[in-house]
Chain A
């Protein structure tokens, strides 16, 4: 061994401990004390440091045992990296069994706050921390979706319900009008565009910064909230291995009916009758040849051979997740390795998702003054997509049809009129997206003198995505056509971080200073082309080179940012806490003179329970009042908006024809003085922990004002442009959040916990562009559906007022000027403003965002059994459902397409719900029927687990062995007719799942 090499260090260390031990021996009367140190699964811990009366020390041997000399009243402190230290006051004992608690379990109480951590009780801002247990409660395909319902103020909505589809997160609702509303995601400090590529099993914690004071350290791009994801790191001690595996059966469920064959014929009959088609027969005795007017349909109907399209297109599908995580290390070197594999088959043919991933996180203590670490993550998701645009046709093609010929071959056309078989479309369509994500990061942390550290971090992330699409020569209208595109996104972030715990001799004061400087680049490049006339269907898009290539595209988006930030955290007597920060950011996307913005914030907290007057209220563990105010920004506009880019146009000129290219400025008027959108936000919160931590509650109120909104405002077309990015207007949002968790029963065998969270949010537009009409009232932007004083995300339309009935004679003021006189069976517009006549003022603003949402969670542990139930509700949301009016979704009651069954008007069924069917004519104001209440209540998940007794599993060298069964989306109560209350019925079905799983730890 070389002299001075790092490997040699344990020797001197041991020596010094022995020295200490020796000096301790000198001090007082000693007895020999023996014992064992173990973790909470009774595994002995080797190398645990033992300090006796603050002086001497020892370490445990390989079997976790120790033998020391100490006085009968000595105080022993056991400490071990990765575990909570434990202090033991001897009372004459000579044999000890010490159980050290896993430090990870204490993460509940440590919150990642952005460039640092804080004990939960010392938090000054509003941060929701989501623990891995709540993330892993039930199998979900991606991390975003797992966050649903896990933190107040965080609303997760499905983006795409197909396998591999992501979800949208809104923190405390919408604030911006045009620009991006997505929060800032950071994984281990690296800015990422989304977290859908992560494996849930790699995640240690997710912390959501909700108020401006916590966000301000991320400054100008934090206005939509910040989501900090921390991945698991190694810990010193014995290697631990965790294995998780589950399999889920998924099925699609809808809450609506389509017309049965007989009902569909009746619909078509009425539609044709109302259009004046003759020779239809009577409704009791229809002339089916005329009503159906299609030989295949006629044959199908008269022989009563129908097709269940949904049954043919969808199936029960499996989902399977496996991961293994190995962690361990020594005081010097710690490792965490995770391997994961996730596979989801689609309930619709030809859709699916797989995501293999590997993560290696290493930490290495080089010297007392230096530690380093690296993170490596690689994953390769593959998404297969069905012919999405055609999926919904399984509901709209009539079941009076023929899907297969007599030999069982799929038919291309299902009726004489030539309607193409939806199964045919799907069969002849292939679409695949292959991603590759690679994240590399490394840091070096220099601890130059006590309390001071300087950390340099470098992060790179790349995402390569190849998307191929192919429609075979059998696909209607295709000559063997498709597209292939390659998207490459690479970003880097360099960060210089200085942290200094200012040594103040008076222990009443505690001051921490953080200084930060970062710069980052995000670069996106896309190359793509489409092609036709492929010589063969065999190789899909991979034969594109032999096909006729057209439409080659190339685009580049590059953004740069530079930031400086500073933060002070001050704690006075553990009662009064202050956090103040300021950040200055520069971003390349803005105009030359407006690139920089400065975002300050301040937060105060008062730990009331530490005051003398509450000294005797022992039942209170924590009572804390928090107040904060800060400014944050939003720069989320696409790059190059201040440059005025042109678009290219292709044309053929000449004889022989030759390609010519022309260029025109885009239809956006150039604005070179774009600047930051800024949000000022105040937050007040009160936290109460009581009854020996059995009750935890938190209540928050926030009020946010956003100004200089980055808005794609409408400009009159006569300018030659249609819109312009501009900074204008103001919005305000306010909300309440409440969370509570109580351990109701806490006995040896029994534990019952009940918790929940409630979030209420409201936003409104305060100002748009300051223009006023002749009466001095502010002008709304009807093009964008922006109304002063109304929520940001709204629809604006008339209100459905029922159906005109026979015998009612509409007077001209009961329908809109310019309209034809309504006839029986037509839609009535409600006199919404109650002025006795129908005018354009009778339109109503419909709020499309939920007004509140909540979660209730119950968990019960009895001996080896554990049970968890979760309920989730979203209320006060209106959502458009085109299936009630749109021709393409069978909603327009034309009798041509099948669709959601409604109670339509006929002369002998004087319905007040839906108008009369018409074969070709269309019904005015039909779209009003689409605005539906989409509130829902859902029994989201139930899990039942059983952990085998350790006595039994020990024999197999297994620390923990748990089996569980889970069901998701068990029951949903909603008036919104669809496969999912968050998606239109044409979207890929959201599924119910039943899971069996196993967790093993070694």
Chain B
């Protein structure tokens, strides 16, 4: 691509319009695309539908040889049992608090570190980045006991900080954001520096806004990981004041003590309660996935 086109591309890449890209696609192709998507979406959703429908069944209606999608009879038994046995509002609050604070912290720390790894040149940079990556390669199950001992020595068992702080430093986010930052055109940052901005301003006002898709992605992933976290809260949050949803629900499913008697409708009701907030969060994050980032105020 020659220089002129590159400049044009650069300028206009900032004012991309969504949804116009592929007009003029033949109708047959569009229909085929829809068909494939609908089939795939159904495959993705059928198990979830079964989960929801099971949560509305009665205990005795669970053992059927062929799976039933419509509960007959339908009942709120499972949800009633759940609310009897667990302090659901408190659990949801705890899960929300830990997840939101943890996600915010994770994303901020990861973004800052990713910036240092992608847009700054310093000795030892790649080695330290490799160190970050390396921490992803040890199975969590084997470092969880030393982590627990550390938390205990800090006196953080059964506290919010014990739940949140150790999970703030995850290399996954750093890796994802670094990759994203690396693809950004440097010219914008250079322009900002010339205008007199310092590094933080450039980070905050140029790099971050341009990385919205990646940031949104990371936010959703972190939200999901923290919301569903089980092993760490199992060790660290045993008291009702700080316990999170997944641990409480596992206690419930623990009625399968002797493998004989899992109350599937209750387990599924718990699953539904756990899945809904994340889906809602994802639907909101969808807005951020809109193509195109309008950036005002920079001249070519």
Whether both chains belong to one complex is answered with no
The residues of B with any CB-CB pair to A shorter than 8 Å are none
